[in-house]
Each structure stands twice: as structure tokens, then as C-alpha cells.
Amino acid sequence: MIEGARWRKWVFFYVPMALFLLFLLFPFYWMVITSVRPDGELYRPWNSINYNPFWTWKPTWDHVRYLFEETLFASWLWNTTFIALASTAISLVCGVFAGYALARLNFPFAGSLGTAIFITYLVPQTLLFIPLAEIIRNYRLGDTPWSLILTYPTFLIPFCTWIMMGYFKAVPKELEECARIDGASRWQAMLYIVIPVAIPGILSAGIFAFTLSWNEFIYALVFLSSPEQKTVPVGVTSELIRGDVFYWGPLMAGALLGSIPVAIAYSFFVEHYVAGLTGSVKG
């Protein structure tokens, strides 16, 4: 905390913090206010006398109602939730076991293998989707949720493995050694001792994986074509932008509703999320 005269706190802490929050939250405020403004205000010329882009005195739910009655937004929301949860579960299971093996088991080139796994995460999706599209076509998985559930782990598993490998290294080996001395097998020591201690890291990796799956766009755009199979990011942008016509009210309402699940996930697990990133161990 800044000590000294009161003006120093205002100049070096409160004012910069307020400007930062204003800069950070303004896009969300703009999204909310656009979602509830009537079309008459949204498309009013900027040089009109009563033009007011930052506030509305006549909020309306017409844009939200349009989403659920005139589009397949409910189906997009369900598709996104199912695909994100399934791909996150697969990636977490693989990432936890791979991270434990790389961090705890002694075998040659374990460190190099961990680095190589993380490097695969850095390969751009714009390059990966070309061979993956061929695989999806050969197995006839195109335009189904499984085309995304099976391809998202290609970039989620390396990321989860890297996070869990670092977190397992932070867990004291003495805990596992005590369990082994008491007669536990390696599997039991991992299941009942190491993994419960690593819950913050698992939650952190899970939140990251869920967020990446929820917001992913390129694979969903390439592998899904039917309107009823689309996810929220692809459905909102492809069905609510027609040529050069932007339906700003429904667009912002869809973006707002689509961001709520991720915000809820972060708000519930923010403490575990921070602990997982810093690698701290409690208890």
C-alpha cells in the first residue's frame, strides 16, 4: 500500500485504478446497454439532437426475445455447453495422468517430453484444422458435436498437462512417500493423497479448458454447418450478420448471454483458480 500524504494515494493508486477499471469494464457496459436499447435508438443518426449512445430511458427485452423466438440460440447454448463440458472432462483426465507421470515418475527424457507437449499447444489452430478436417471427413464426424469433442483435446490436453505437471512438482514428495511406507500402492497414493492436494490446480486447468472450449471459433466454423448444430460464437456471428447488415441488438444480447456461464465459473472458483496458477499448496 502506498504510504505518505493522502494525495499520493489518489494520484498513484485510486485514479490509475479507476481508469483501469473504466477501460476494462467499458466493453461489457457497452454490450449490456446495446442489448437493452430499442432499435429506434440503436440506429438513430449520430448528429440527431436526442442521440445518446451511452444510456437509454426505454430499456427493452426485445433483442433477447428475438434470440430465443426467431433464432436457434437455445440450441446453440446447449451445444456449446455439452461440447465444452465433454471436451474439458476428456482433457482433464488425460492432463492429470500425463502431468503426474511427467512430474513424478522417473524415466529418460521426461523434461524434454513435457516441453515437447507444451510446444504442440503453440501450434496455430489455423494449421492444425487442415489435417484434422481430413480425419473428421474420413470418420464421417462432420456436422456433429463429436467433431469438436474429439478435436478440442488436441490443444486442451497439452495445456492441462503443462499446468498439472508444474502443480504436481509443487506437491511435497514426502506426502506420497509416507503413504507408500504405510502400505499404499502408487495408484492409491496418487488417488487419495496427491490428487486431493492438487484440486486447486485441477480446477484452474478445468476453468481454462472450459473457457477455451466455450470461446473456440475456427474448428466450430469449419466442422459444423447446420444451423441447429452450431455453437454460440459461430451461430451468433453467422446468423445475425447477413451481408453488410449487423443486427446489433441481438448480437450484443447473444454475446452477453454467452459470456454469463464463463463469468459464473470464474466467480465460483476464483480463489482456487489463483492458487492453481501460483502453484501454492494448502493443508
Predicted pLDDT of residue 117: 81
Mean pLDDT of all residues in 222-249: 90
The pTM assigned to this predicted structure is 0.85
Give the pLDDT confidence of 42-67 residue by residue, as tens digits: 888 888 888 888 888 889 999 999 99
Predicted pLDDT of residue 203: 87
Predicted pLDDT of residue 282: 46
Average pLDDT, the chain: 87
Q: Which three cell numbers stand for residue 120?
A: 504442440
Predicted pLDDT of residue 283: 38
